[in-house]
Amino acid sequence: MTVQDADRMSFAEEWERWHRAHEQALADPHGFLAITSLRWLSPEPTRFEDAPGAWSSGPEGVVVELADGEELTIDGTAVHGRYVFGAIAERDSLYAGYGDAVIEIAKRGGHDIVRPRHPGNPLRTAFTHTPAYAPDPRWVRGGRYLPFYEPRAITVGAVAEGLEHVYDAPGQVEFELADGETFRLTAFNGKRPGSLMVLLTDATSGVTTYAANRSLQIDAPDEAGRVTLDFNRATNLPCAYTDLATCPLPPTENRLPVAIEAGERIPLERGGHP
């Protein structure tokens, strides 16, 4: 075995560990695959078959009115009767226990929503894996972070019809592909402090990868502004698996005209191939 072969094997093994952990999080008993419905709240208290209580959204924020014998657990404390969750910030979520289920209370696109998550949901229990391109080091590209003078509020569409999301974009990332062509992607704040996240589509979208969007996490730039884009770790968003999601669409400039044949492919649940 050559040094190059060993390096490729190590690269593939590291990717496999990362993807296995990613799949485990996706299939968590209360993860996105466990969602049984998406409820848009209104001022009128409304009951839902997969959650206790009558739910509404008004001047007090989100309110639930639990009937006799109904109970939620919030921060380890059992609550009964009328409970006020209050105003919820955009893209925040609160979680209340309900037996072996969890009720997510959230705000998306300016609207208060409730999403019950039941471990026994068939979408979760039938989940096996997500197809993906074989990891390939050639899809790891060095790039440059180009910060804006100040963050820009970027409005993007959503997979939910009529919904919009607004994200603060701190800057863009610039990179080249093998043919030397340069591209720039608008970046949003990532999961970890200083890190970045880009939403994108490319020429594989709707062919071998999910049509609406893909997500790529990028580690924080170094002192010289250098970043690494590992497209092998481009992942599906929850909407690739379920219609009960409100995922954002990429900004127009993040729709690449080239084929990025790396990362997760169309899920089996959406007709993808192993």
- Residue 168 CA to residue 64 CA, distance in Å, equals 32
CB 216 within 8 A of CB 235: yes
Using CA atoms, how far apart are residues 93 and 107, in angstroms rounded to an integer? 7
Assessment of whether the complete model's pTM goes beyond 0.85: yes
Q: How does pLDDT run along the chain (274 residues), one tens digit per residue?
A: 444 555 788 999 999 999 999 999 999 999 999 999 999 999 999 999 999 999 999 999 999 999 999 999 999 999 999 999 999 999 999 999 999 999 999 999 999 999 999 999 999 999 999 999 999 999 999 999 999 999 999 999 999 999 999 999 999 999 998 778 899 999 999 989 999 999 999 999 999 999 999 999 999 999 999 999 999 999 999 999 999 999 999 999 999 999 999 999 999 999 998 8
3-state secondary structure of 6: helix
49-67 burial, b at 16+ Cβ within 10 Å, e below that, comes to ebbbbbbbbeeebbbbebe
Where does residue 178 rank: exposed (0-12), middle (13-18), buried (19+ CB within 10 A)? exposed
* Secondary structure class of 47 (helix, strand, coil): strand
